[in-house]
Structure 1
Amino acid sequence: MANLEYKDLLDAGVHFGHLTRKWDPQMAPYIFMEKNGIHIIDLNKTLVCLEEASKALKQVVRSGRKVMFVATKKQAKDLVADEARRLKMPYATERWLGGMLTNFATIRKSLKKMQGIDKLMKEESFTGLAKRERLMVTREKEKLERVLGGIADLTRLPAALFIVDIKREHIAVKEAQKLNIPVFAIVDTNSNPNEVDFPIPGNDDAYKSVKLILSYISEVIEEGLNERKREKDDAKSKEDEDEKRRVDEVEAVEESKD
């Protein structure tokens, strides 16, 4: 995993906060200065926070659990969806359905409904339906996939959330708080960093800034997944070796009897 440097953050504009009149006073520890009516984020603090977040995130994925990505703002949603799909992690990028975490049982019913429609559309009987009925089923599937497609494979609650813009995704933050699910997030100067477990102070509006931080976080997760795979492979190899040794010992005993 390539280390992020101060210059990388600077070039991506991670240091640009909001207008000073829009700030949240709780962000004061992460603000370096004010320039032309805009708060400038302390990138040294950003680097420290990224390091803390990466260590914790790696532990989550190494334990075999899922990190859910959340970003519904235009400049971040496609980036987040692409990375989440690549990592085979759940994501919400269209809109956050109220109760997506706190009422997960109901959400799972909707997921089963979506899977049922998908199965129906593959059956021969589907082509025998009237054109209007087929259209209604297709539209229903598209609607469900748009909102729930990113969590189609989620069978239990995620172990953590990674959020871009906690002010916009405040419902997701509140639901995670209720369920004690840790939240990792890019937090701009207009937000309260105390609302999340691992705030990453940075510009959550600029495409370049979001892309840089997201790419780094994705690399961390990928590294954690690879470490987990290596550990499982090593454990399997050891198991196979132990089994082979046991078989050899049994055969040796049998031969000695003969």
Structure 2
Amino acid sequence: MTLKSENSKMEKENKTKSTEPNVSNENTKENSQQTELTPIVSKQKLLEAGTYFGHKASQWHPKMQPYILKRPKNGTHILDVVKTQKTLEIAYQLINKLALKGASFIFVGTKKQARKVVEAQAERTNSIYVSERWLGGTLTNKKTILSRLKQMQELEEHAENNFSNYTKKEGVLMSKKLAKLQKNLNGIRGLKFINNDKLIMLVADPNKDIIAIKEAKKAKVKVIGIMDSNTDPALLDFGIPANDDSVKSITLIFTVLADAIATAKGGKALFAYQPTENIVLPEDPDKEHKALNKFRKVSAEVQNQVHHKSFVAKAKPEVTSQQKEENKHQKQGE
């Protein structure tokens, strides 16, 4: 699979503004006409998703300079959304063309912010995925991985009968083992049907999943993914400059990439070339959690202050009229 040659073809087509796709597919023809009318995703939606937020200037990778605006904002690098929009469109067209030629895809995103969208979009496109821990040898030692998959399937068969042929203790141990295998292997059940020479990796965070990328390089599997301001672009065969720490940003980018696969298979696009008002992004649970914690903290502080004032008021002894008279005479005597 020559990703670079396909990419260069796409760039030439963009420069010459060719409107005829190189495939005889009605969906692709409709998409090519649609691209002339609407952008892949509006800049407004890219800004709403926070795709432009990079990392602290001190954490940047120098090779990301072409994709970063000159002046950091509050010490944080800002990514150029114009370049994000352009590279996202090229990636979409590239993946769409590869999918039409029979390519398979593996979605990779083991960080918390990426897991849900990676699983959802991989399942939508009938692709394999890794959203938990990358198991060494997934691409370079398939024999071992396939043996684990077989073991998992056997345990699932026993689980259907509630491990009736085993003791209670054995059943509990086997159930725990099955849960562990399912957690790590659920997404790659279809691995045995995929050849590495037709496989493309889509990765949410190259730094987080560097082991997967290194293994992809060894297996000669091409990698397309998000590159934040702290990412080495050389890790990817094609990168999209965007925020890889935001749920909204990852969801937007990965849904568009999945749209490229879905439309190649006759499906519909959810985000790509859709009206801005039709693109609904999820709320960031981390931000909601932080906001809730902040509210709770402030509420606790207010309650403590009120409690402290009432406690002081209660602790202060009441002065009787007789004591007031005595205090008055003492002051006069002084």
TM-score by length of 1: 0.83
Deviation string, structure 1 residues 12-63 (Cα, Å, up to 9, x no partner): 1100100000000010111123221111111111112112211221123223
**Separation in structure 2 between the aligned mates of residue 191 and residue 103 of structure 1, nearest angstrom:** 27
**Separation in structure 2 between the aligned mates of residue 85 and residue 154 of structure 1, nearest angstrom:** 14
SS at match of 1:146: helix
- Aligned match of 2:223: 183
1:14 aligns with 2:47: no
Aligned length: 226
- Aligned match of 1:250: none
Contact 1:68-1:160 within 8 A present in 2 as well? yes
- Aligned match of 1:104: 142
Which shows bigger deviation, 6-15 or 113-122?
113-122
1:202 aligns with 2:242: yes
Q: Pick the aligned partner of 1:143 from 160, 180, 186.
A: 180
AA aligned to 1:144 is L
AA aligned to 2:66 is P
- Shift of residue 134 of structure 1? 1.0
Deviation string, structure 1 residues 80-139 (Cα, Å, up to 9, x no partner): 112211222100001111121111221111111111212233358x31321111111111
- Aligned match of 1:47: 85
1:170 aligns with 2:205: no
Q: Sequence identity of aligned pairs in percent? A: 37
- Aligned match of 1:152: 189
SS at match of 2:257: helix
Report 1:62-101 matches (<5 A): 62-101=100-139
AA aligned to 1:224 is A
- Shift of residue 163 of structure 1? 0.4
**Separation in structure 2 between the aligned mates of residue 133 and residue 60 of structure 1, nearest angstrom:** 47
- Aligned match of 1:161: 201
Alpha-carbon RMSD across the aligned residues, in angstroms, is 1.6
- Shift of residue 169 of structure 1? 0.4
- Shift of residue 69 of structure 1? 0.5
- What residue ranges of structure 2 are gaps of 5+ in the alignment? 1-30, 32-37, 268-334
**Separation in structure 1 between the aligned mates of residue 110 and residue 67 of structure 2, nearest angstrom:** 25
AA aligned to 1:194 is A
**Separation in structure 2 between the aligned mates of residue 55 and residue 131 of structure 1, nearest angstrom:** 54
AA aligned to 1:65 is A
Q: Which has the higher contact order (CA 8 A, sep 6+)?
A: 1
SS at match of 1:4: coil
SS at match of 1:152: helix
**Separation in structure 2 between the aligned mates of residue 217 and residue 184 of structure 1, nearest angstrom:** 10
1:4 aligns with 2:41: yes
**Separation in structure 2 between the aligned mates of residue 219 and residue 197 of structure 1, nearest angstrom:** 20
SS at match of 2:69: strand
Deviation string, structure 1 residues 165-208 (Cα, Å, up to 9, x no partner): 10010001111111221101111000101110110100000111
AA aligned to 1:152 is R
- Aligned match of 2:12: none
- Shift of residue 157 of structure 1? 4.0
1:118 aligns with 2:156: yes
TM-score by length of 2: 0.65
Contact 1:101-1:157 within 8 A present in 2 as well? no
- Aligned match of 1:213: 253
**Separation in structure 1 between the aligned mates of residue 98 and residue 177 of structure 2, nearest angstrom:** 35
